[in-house]
A and B are shown apart, each in its own frame.
Chain A
Amino acid sequence: MSEWIQIGAVLDFPRQGSRVVESPKGAIAVFRTQDDRFFALHDRCPHRGGPLSQGIVYGHRIACPLHSWVIELETGEAVAPDEGETACFQIREDQGNIYLKV
């Protein structure tokens, strides 16, 4: 069963940055892009598990801090030629608050 949970307000998230939500199944990285879109991914790089939340956000992508793989924020897929995928979570904004579906 899944439900929407409020995790913070828009202003808690830096543009081109991220914050982490802890969960029993591992950390979830929440990203805010330059154009104010929000994305949520499992905070593990498909390469060797690097914490994606610590990477550099650009466009709708995140560059992993460990070995610079680039992951699509919308799909969790690694940008070719790298191959791999990390889980995505649904996220939405409502009246200045951010909700995550878990």
Chain B
Amino acid sequence: MQGANGGTPESGNGANSSQGELALFLPDGIQTHEYTERAMKKKMKLVVIGNGMAGIRTVEELLKMAPDLYDISVFGAEPHCNYNRILLSPVLAGEKSLNDIILNQEDWYTEHHITLYKGEKATLIDRKNRSVIGELGARADYDRLLIATGSSPFILPIPGRELSGVVAFRDIKDVDQMLEAARTGRHAVVIGGGLLGLEAANGLRKQGMDVTVVHNMTSLMERQLDEPAASLLQNSLEQSGLSFLIAAQTEAIIGENRVRAVRFKDGLEIPADLVVMAVGIRPNIELAKASGIHCERGIIVSDTMQTYDPSVYAVGECVQHRGELFGLVAPTFEQAKVCANQLAEVGSGRYRGSVTSTKLKVTGIDLFSAGDFKGGEGFEELVMQDPSRGIYKKLVVKDNRIRGAVLYGDTVAGGWYFQLMRESTDIQSFRESILFGHSNMADEGRDGQSIASMSDDAEVCGCNGVCKKTVVDAILEKKLFTLDEVRAHTKASSSCGSCTGLVEQILQATVGNYDPTPAEKPVCACTTHAHDAVRQQIAQRGLKSLDAIFRSLDWQTPDGCQKCRPALNYYLLCAWPSEYRDDPNSRFINERVHANIQKDGTYSVVPRMWGGLTTPDELRAIAGVADKFQIPTVKVTGGQRIDLLGVKKEDLPAVWAELNSAGMVSGHAYGKSLRTVKTCVGSEWCRFGTQDSTGLGVKLEKMTWGSWTPHKFKMAVSGCPRNCAEATIKDFGIICVDSGYEIHVGGNGGIKIRGTDLLVKVSSETEVFEYCGAFMQIYREEGRYLERTAPWIERVGLAYVKSRLENAEERQRLFEKFKVSQETAQVDPWAELSKPAARSEFVAIASLENSHV
């Protein structure tokens, strides 16, 4: 559920990481230099009002990008350093200490030369003289001002609200008062049955108080839950010892100096030593308003987080953006990122609103809610209920897309649903099973296992050998908030990604709930554009080189990075097959040298064996090469061919030349390209074979080899439904039957196994070729780089792919396009690279004598 809030490490350890981030936006040399020069001339002044989550997050993001651009001062009304407000709930419940939730200690401010007016409320913004005045007399001038004053709890206008013992639930001071009351008093009344009220009630109960929750609506958390889920929630909270007064109207709080009781409209009076008001929040806009900045319910900001005064920015719960107010961390962090980009003058980032989800942080209760969970006219509801296990799941669906979700009791799939919802994924093909959760095997094996019950040394990430404790420690020590940050610091979930769900759950269990992924992620940190947008621009504006893309689309780095360049190189190749010249330096080494790099820096060589067929001559040639070049390992691959492993780089051209002369070409075992076409023996030999599967496989491979695709592309042809070639876990699989050929697509046998969907049944090989070429072409044009056909089809929906291919004319057109791009693609790279002129790349340019070193 966590996502790419920039994917950047916190700047917790200071200079190091800001240095690291810097170059993403300011490649060394030119721009850093410019900044230094500017800094020496005159640093600009930035004043921040509000030492809370959104304000300081913005400063952190800013420091990563432009550490020397501003002299920064911060006014903070609270007498504390910046802390993680959402963890006040576990502090109240005694599960965490105050010290655990501090995000930046005093020395962080010192280290970054930030002047902190701690415990000093800003009382005046003098916009004419660009200066902010504090309550104790401090004065700070600004070139740019950031308002991040958050919000205040709403206090019901009822008699007795000013009595001592009546508190809100917003800051450390409130929590201190509650803890104090819990030591001396017995009865607590919490007014408000929303998220905050329930977390307060739970905490107070854990501190030993008798707690009554008063709610004026008919069901709890009505803004996040439908009635069935709310009543399950109420039941389990009652079982844990809370009392509820539902649909009750509070009339007055009674007491002399200190609260004694609460009275309701119907005359009922209940004893109270503490009253917590948790009935909502209001943006803190008085200061902004008083200084003439345009406000409605919140401070009005544009997509660049600017107020009506262009030198004044605002972020967090105090703002109103496109009519919306905010009450969760995730959107405020997204705003922080955009605002920091603007302040750093490096970005063209825009904030366009956020989709959010909610979880209740009450230990032992699993609850998840997102989007439009109420549904109604025009919506469908998928519901699963298992009352004896206390499980309720509801998905609200429209046009086969998830619009909202409520989960109670089992929330493991929450992150997955949320992602499907945000990406507007077509769920038709897995609709029947969707309520049972993930199709992700690696995650599923761990279902039902709560994070809390996992032992510290349980392995979370199998690729990188990372255990639970390592992840938790890193999150706490390095103050990590997002999945990408955890990936960067621990490597967990950074390789094959199958443990992503698990890492997200650990993250949630440790620091609460963030979800900062925008609907579509940018290609990488060099840009704000997402994959599809870039491709559109390439076509629309006729961009035909990497440089043209960097310039026209405002790339923030002069020559991209290792993430965007390979993607862009592919997009250009796909868009302009006959014009664009491939850029080898924008390719991963394997594709650059047409062999797979191994852990020791040697390479593996896999010659093509069409359809899995070979000959004694080919085998002799392979044996000869292995002997001649002393190749240590010869292995049969999972793709029906032979791998020569451990070839030295400088031997590659000679090895290829030798294989070429025996008639063999590159097998592209390294490429985001057509890999193998696996076949079975078929009708030529097998007693069950219905068609010549081997022959068909060979023809398919001859037609498609050499083509570049967004990710690797594998095929198989089985001679009958016994399916010995495993065609139903391939990107494109054929099952031969007596009457013809079943065409299956979108299978994957790798990290996340997925069986194919049946696309169509045809009666001739000619039709198979046509479907194959046309299918590959849509995938080539619309699949995002590094997205295999399985996730691609899940994203766009099988119905869409079918609709494109059913139309004979469209199919023919796509097939023709495919054939055109094959004209330039089917050149054996081995033959090219073993030519003498190309060989220099493979050998050292110079060799130093012993005496020289």
Instruction: Check A37 for interface membership: any CB of B closer than 8 A.
Output: yes
Which among B302-310, B585-593, B697-705, B733-741 touches the partner chain?
B585-593
Shortest CB-to-CB span from B583 to chain A, Å, is 8
When distances are taken between beta carbons in the complex, the residues of chain B under 8 Å from A48 are 599
Q: When the two chains form the complex, which single residue of B23, B489, B586, B845 contacts A59, counting CB atoms closer than 8 Å?
A: B23
0 or 1 for each of A22-40: is its CB under 8 Å from B? (1 = yes): 1111010010011101000
A16 touches B589 (CB 8 A): no
Which among B44-52, B104-112, B559-567, B770-778 touches the partner chain?
B559-567
Q: How far is the CA of A70 from the CA of B488 in the complex (A)?
A: 11
When distances are taken between beta carbons in the complex, the residues of chain B under 8 Å from A72 are 23, 28
B28 touches A60 (CB 8 A): yes
A17 touches B558 (CB 8 A): no
Of residues 49 to 78 in A, which have CB atoms within 8 Å of B's CB atoms? 49-51, 54-61, 63, 65-68, 70, 72, 74
B853 touches A24 (CB 8 A): yes
Instruction: Check B847 for interface membership: any CB of A closer than 8 A.
Output: yes
When distances are taken between beta carbons in the complex, the residues of chain A under 8 Å from B562 are 55-56, 58, 63, 68, 70
A59 touches B561 (CB 8 A): yes
0 or 1 for each of B486-497: is its CB under 8 Å from A? (1 = yes): 001100000100
Q: When the two chains form the complex, which single residue of A14, A33, A80 contacts B17, counting CB atoms closer than 8 Å?
A: A80
Q: Which residue of B lies closest to A43 (CB)?
A: B601
Q: How far is the CA of A6 from the CA of B370 in the complex (A)?
A: 64
Q: When the two chains form the complex, which single residue of A20, A27, A66 contacts B597, counting CB atoms closer than 8 Å?
A: A66
Shortest CB-to-CB span from B651 to chain A, Å, is 15
Q: Which residue of B lies closest to A14 (CB)?
A: B585
Q: How far is the CA of A76 from the CA of B841 in the complex (A)?
A: 23
When distances are taken between beta carbons in the complex, the residues of chain A under 8 Å from B663 are none
Q: Which residue of A lies closest to B20 (CB)?
A: A80
Q: When the two chains form the complex, which single residue of A20, A57, A61, A80 contacts B9, counting CB atoms closer than 8 Å?
A: A80
A58 touches B559 (CB 8 A): yes
Q: How far is the CA of A102 from the CA of B841 in the complex (A)?
A: 23
When distances are taken between beta carbons in the complex, the residues of chain A under 8 Å from B852 are 3, 5, 23, 102
B845 touches A81 (CB 8 A): no
Instruction: Check B40 for interface membership: any CB of A closer than 8 A.
Output: no
0 or 1 for each of B580-609: is its CB under 8 Å from A? (1 = yes): 000001111100010001010100000000
Shortest CB-to-CB span from A56 to chain B, Å, is 4
Also in contact, A22 and B847, with CB within 8 A (given A58-B559, A80-B17): yes
When distances are taken between beta carbons in the complex, the residues of chain B under 8 Å from A81 are 9, 17, 20, 478, 488-489
Tell me what chain A mostly uses at the interface: helix, strand, loop, or mixed: loop
Q: Which residue of A lies closest to B488 (CB)?
A: A81
Instruction: Check A79 for interface membership: any CB of B closer than 8 A.
Output: yes
Q: How far is the CA of A68 from the CA of B845 in the complex (A)?
A: 25
B853 touches A65 (CB 8 A): no
Q: How far is the CA of A27 from the CA of B13 in the complex (A)?
A: 33
Count B-side interface residues using an 8 Å CB cutoff.
Answer: 42
B589 touches A21 (CB 8 A): no
Shortest CB-to-CB span from A78 to chain B, Å, is 9
Instruction: Check B335 for interface membership: any CB of A closer than 8 A.
Output: no
When distances are taken between beta carbons in the complex, the residues of chain B under 8 Å from A51 are 597, 601
A65 touches B597 (CB 8 A): yes
Instruction: Check A7 for interface membership: any CB of B closer than 8 A.
Output: yes
Also in contact, A20 and B559, with CB within 8 A (given A80-B9, A102-B853): no
Q: When the two chains form the complex, which single residue of A22, A65, A67, A80 contacts B846, counting CB atoms closer than 8 Å?
A: A22
Among the interface residues B558, B840, B848, B850, which one has the most CB atoms of the partner chain A within 10 A?
Answer: B848
Also in contact, A65 and B589, with CB within 8 A (given A24-B850, A81-B489): yes
B585 touches A57 (CB 8 A): yes
Q: When the two chains form the complex, which single residue of B9, B565, B597, B853 contacts A25, counting CB atoms closer than 8 Å?
A: B853
When distances are taken between beta carbons in the complex, the residues of chain A under 8 Å from B28 are 59-60, 72, 74
Also in contact, A54 and B29, with CB within 8 A (given A68-B562, A102-B853): no
Shortest CB-to-CB span from B110 to chain A, Å, is 20
Q: Which residue of A lies closest to B489 (CB)?
A: A81
Instruction: Check B19 for interface membership: any CB of A closer than 8 A.
Output: yes
Instruction: Check B453 for interface membership: any CB of A closer than 8 A.
Output: no
Q: How far is the CA of A14 from the CA of B847 in the complex (A)?
A: 19
B597 touches A15 (CB 8 A): no
Q: How far is the CA of A79 from the CA of B27 in the complex (A)?
A: 13
Among the interface residues A7, A13, A48, which one has the most CB atoms of the partner chain B within 10 A?
Answer: A7
Of residues 1 to 27 in B, which have CB atoms within 8 Å of A's CB atoms? 9, 13, 16-17, 19-20, 23, 27
Q: How far is the CA of A20 from the CA of B841 in the complex (A)?
A: 9
Instruction: Check B844 for interface membership: any CB of A closer than 8 A.
Output: yes
Count A-side interface residues using an 8 Å CB cutoff.
Answer: 47
Also in contact, A59 and B848, with CB within 8 A (given A16-B559, A81-B17): no
Instruction: Check B557 for interface membership: any CB of A closer than 8 A.
Output: yes
Q: Which residue of A lies closest to B600 (CB)?
A: A49
Q: How far is the CA of A5 from the CA of B852 in the complex (A)?
A: 9
Q: How far is the CA of A34 from the CA of B585 in the complex (A)?
A: 11
When distances are taken between beta carbons in the complex, the residues of chain B under 8 Å from A57 are 585
Also in contact, A22 and B488, with CB within 8 A (given A56-B562, A56-B585, A60-B27): no
Q: When the two chains form the complex, which single residue of B489, B589, B593, B844 contacts A20, counting CB atoms closer than 8 Å?
A: B844
Q: How far is the CA of A35 from the CA of B32 in the complex (A)?
A: 15
Q: How far is the CA of A25 from the CA of B13 in the complex (A)?
A: 35
Of residues 474 to 509 in B, which have CB atoms within 8 Å of A's CB atoms? 478, 488-489, 495
Q: How far is the CA of A81 from the CA of B485 in the complex (A)?
A: 9
Q: Which residue of B lies closest to A79 (CB)?
A: B20
When distances are taken between beta carbons in the complex, the residues of chain B under 8 Å from A17 are 585
A58 touches B561 (CB 8 A): yes
Among the interface residues B9, B30, B561, B566, which one has the most CB atoms of the partner chain A within 10 A?
Answer: B561
B585 touches A21 (CB 8 A): no
Shortest CB-to-CB span from A23 to chain B, Å, is 4
Also in contact, A37 and B488, with CB within 8 A (given A21-B847, A58-B559): no
A19 touches B844 (CB 8 A): yes
Instruction: Check A12 for interface membership: any CB of B closer than 8 A.
Output: yes
B853 touches A59 (CB 8 A): no
When distances are taken between beta carbons in the complex, the residues of chain B under 8 Å from A3 are 852
A7 touches B846 (CB 8 A): yes
Among the interface residues B587, B588, B844, which one has the most CB atoms of the partner chain A within 10 A?
Answer: B844
Q: How far is the CA of A84 from the CA of B485 in the complex (A)?
A: 19
Q: When the two chains form the complex, which single residue of B9, B597, B848 contacts A24, counting CB atoms closer than 8 Å?
A: B848
A23 touches B588 (CB 8 A): no
A54 touches B589 (CB 8 A): yes
Also in contact, A35 and B29, with CB within 8 A (given A5-B848, A66-B597): yes
Q: How far is the CA of A8 from the CA of B558 in the complex (A)?
A: 27
Shortest CB-to-CB span from B563 to chain A, Å, is 9
0 or 1 for each of B537-554: is its CB under 8 Å from A? (1 = yes): 000000000000000000
A56 touches B853 (CB 8 A): no
B845 touches A102 (CB 8 A): no
> Using a CB–CB distance below 8 Å, which chain A residues touch chain B?
3, 5, 7-8, 12-17, 19-25, 27, 30, 33-35, 37, 48-51, 54-61, 63, 65-68, 70, 72, 74, 79-81, 102
> What would 13 A/B residue contacts be, using CB atoms closer than 8 Å?
A7-B846, A16-B586, A21-B847, A37-B29, A49-B601, A57-B585, A58-B562, A59-B23, A59-B28, A60-B29, A80-B9, A80-B16, A102-B853
Interchain residue pairs A-B with the least CB separation, the first 4: A63-B562, A59-B27, A80-B20, A16-B585
Given A35-B558, A80-B9, 5 other A-B residues pairs in contact with their CB atoms under 8 A? A3-B852, A14-B841, A19-B845, A65-B597, A74-B28
